[in-house]
Amino acid sequence: MDILKYSIPKIAKMLREKKISSQELTSFYLNRIKNNKKLNAYITVLEDSLDIAKSIDNAGVKEKDPVLKGIPYSLKDNMLVKGIRTTCASKILENYTANYNSTVAQRLNDSGAVLLGKTNLDEFAMGSSNENSFFGPVINPWNHKHVPGGSSGGSAVSVSAGLSQFSYGTDTGGSVRLPACFNGIASIKPTYGRISRYGIIAFASSLDQVGPMARNIEDLAIAYDVVCGPDSKDQTCSIKAKESMYDFLSSDKASFEKSFSKKKIGIPRDMIKEGVSEDVLKSLDESINVLSKMGFDFVDVKIPNSKYALDVYYIIATGEASSNLSRYDGIHYGYRSKNNKDLDALYSYSRGEAFGDEVQRRIMLGTFVLSAGYYDAYFSKAAKVRTLIKNDFNNAFNDCDMILMPVSPVTAFKLGEKTSDPLTMYLSDVFTISVNLAALPSLGFPSGFDKTGLPVGMQLIGKHFDESSLFSAAKMIQEKKPEWFNNVAQEKDSVK
């Protein structure tokens, strides 16, 4: 029985037919996690998930039960699960136990899915390579010399290396789509406001959004369905009623004719001009080819202000982060320095000793852009340019249903390659950041492999709250290119 080849609907069916048990699934994944410790995908593994699986098996999985009942998954360790350590990959929260459930964890818990553990990330989700973790870097399972992408590197690896059926990351500037791309799996960064942020440790509140990751589009739709929808605990969460993407994909509404009004896809050629590797450009052409065979026309769209996106992002995101991270002060919970002879020392040493370099760099930058005398020149101006970027996208969508572009200019780079130069590292997110600034949904899908065998990925960007177009197109791509999906890293690069 090759569990790794099965989709969630297939496993759900097997559970109902008692061809497999939740305990078998859970111990299968727990064993794989144990055998792949080297990848460092998990910060905390929940051995007692087996007990939960057992109680699910004892109760039996019924026809009417939620589809995820009994199916194992993982969560990025910046999402709170009551009673479980939540570190955010930081020394400052090394021993912090969550005292409430995030809405995401609560909904997954209610669905009966089995949590295997909390996955590794860049500290406070700040990074593009997952090398900024207090618990050490995560390794790319396709090539152990390479990074898995960040900041949700652990979540992506847990899916691509077969260490969980599906997973969740958070995407502030590309942190779900980039590691998913580097790992050859599917992912979605939903419209800002689709998924409640309650209980998700904030990096940049106006940009953060939870995103699921999976090996195929059906699994992605199911993982998306279970967590999205209104939440009174998060006032920035949309009150739009949720519609099931899985049901939508199984209906005739998802047909090519019904899904797309213009049947046109925009390509922002201006953005993709420089610094993009040949392999990635080749893969983009291949995707265009697949989509045009399905009947899409292609138009050139312009997002002129996207050239400022990286600058705008590093002003807004760091400004918000500098404030969001103020609560980690050594007073109420978390790490407290022994060097605390007075209040100033307590603050300075606790934060100085427990935050990593990248986090400190961003706190300092953010404090600067918000400070009196600089606010107007930086934060306030960045907020205005952000509006211009939104407008650019809105204009572009006058001519197309979706926008297609690579997730990253390059495939997974080498461990240590960019750690000494933060600016080069920041460029990894050049294609993903605009989407967060514009609060748009973007679905990342795997589009094959480069010459060296590392995964390549593309993203489809949609209008606000138009996730359904993205799912619909992605499912068609999957039908045309099944070899791009359901890949598990160990089959190409054995991890024993």
Partner 1 sequence: MKYESVIGLEIHSQLSTKSKMFCSCSTSFGKKQNTNICPVCSAQPGSLPSVNGKAIEYAVKTALAFNCKINKNSIFARKNYFYPDLPKGYQISQYEEPLATFGWINITTKDNLEKKIGITRIHLEEDAGKNTHNYDGSLVDLNRAGVPLIEIVSEPDMRTPEEAVAYFKKIRTVLQYLEVCDCNMEEGNLRCDVNVSVMEKGQKVFGTKVEVKNVNSFRFVEKAINYEIERQIKIVEAGEKVQQETRLFDSSSNITKSMRKKEEANDYRYFPEPDLIPLVLDDSFIDHQSTTLPELPDKKKERFIKSFSLSNYDAAVLTSEKDISKYYEELVSLVGDAKSCSNWMQTEVLRALNEQKIEIVKFGMPPKQLSSLIKLVLSGEINQGTAKEVFNEMLATELSADQIIEKKGLKQISDPTAIEKIVEEVIKESPSQVEQYKSGKVALMGFLVGLVMKKSKGKANPAIVNELLKKKLN
Catalytic residues: 76, 151, 175
Answer yes or no: are the C-beta atoms of 202 and 322 closer than 8 Å: no
User: How would DSSP label each residue in 139-175?
Assistant: PPTT-TTB---SSSHHHHHHHHTTSSSEEEEE-SSST
Binding site for partner 1 (CB under 8 A): 78-80, 86, 88, 93, 96, 98-100, 102, 197-202, 204-206, 232-236, 319-320, 322-323, 325-329, 331-333, 343, 347, 367, 370-372, 375, 379
Minimum CB separation of residue 220 from partner 1 in Å reads 24
Minimum CB separation of residue 66 from partner 1 in Å reads 24
Q: Which is nearer to partner 1, 57 or 320 (CB)?
A: 320
Minimum CB separation of residue 144 from partner 1 in Å reads 32
Six token digits for residue 143: 């090539």
Q: Which residues contact 491 (CB under 8 A, 6 or more apart)?
A: none
Peptide bond into 151 cis (omega under 30): yes
CB hemisphere CA count around 291 (13 angstroms): 30
How many whole angstroms from its chain centre is CA 307? 23
Minimum CB separation of residue 379 from partner 1 in Å reads 6
Q: Which is nearer to partner 1, 9 or 230 (CB)?
A: 230
Minimum CB separation of residue 403 from partner 1 in Å reads 25
Minimum CB separation of residue 333 from partner 1 in Å reads 8
Q: Which is nearer to partner 1, 150 or 319 (CB)?
A: 319
Answer yes or no: are the C-beta atoms of 167 and 75 closer than 8 Å: yes
Q: Give the separation between CA 233 and CA 102, rounded to whole angstroms.
A: 10
**Bridging pattern class, strands 264-267 and 402-406:** parallel
Q: Which residues contact 370 (CB under 8 A, 6 or more apart)?
A: 319, 322, 323, 378, 379
Distances (CA, A) of 56 to 21, 82, 115, 163: 9, 20, 13, 20
Q: Which is nearer to partner 1, 147 or 370 (CB)?
A: 370
Q: Which is nearer to partner 1, 133 or 478 (CB)?
A: 133
Q: Which is nearer to partner 1, 59 or 343 (CB)?
A: 343
Q: Which is nearer to partner 1, 98 or 272 (CB)?
A: 98
Q: Which is nearer to partner 1, 251 or 371 (CB)?
A: 371
Residue 95's H or E segment, with its range, is none
Q: Which residues contact 172 (CB under 8 A, 6 or more apart)?
A: 125, 151, 203, 204, 207, 208, 209, 317, 436
Minimum CB separation of residue 337 from partner 1 in Å reads 14
Nearest residue to 81 (alpha-carbon basis) of 33, 113, 115: 115
> Which residue in the block uniquely carries the two structure tokens 């929260």?
93
Distances (CA, A) of 462 to 17, 405, 440: 38, 12, 6
Distances (CA, A) of 99 to 43, 80, 119, 131, 168: 18, 8, 19, 28, 20
Q: Give the separation between CA 431 and CA 171, rounded to whole angstroms.
A: 13
341: amino acid identity, one letter: K
Six token digits for residue 339: 């060097």
Q: Which is nearer to partner 1, 89 or 265 (CB)?
A: 89
What angle, 0 to 180 degrees and rounded to 10, lies between the N-to-C axes of helices 217-227 and 103-111? 110
Minimum CB separation of residue 420 from partner 1 in Å reads 30
Q: Give the separation between CA 418 and CA 176, rounded to whole angstroms.
A: 19
Minimum CB separation of residue 325 from partner 1 in Å reads 8
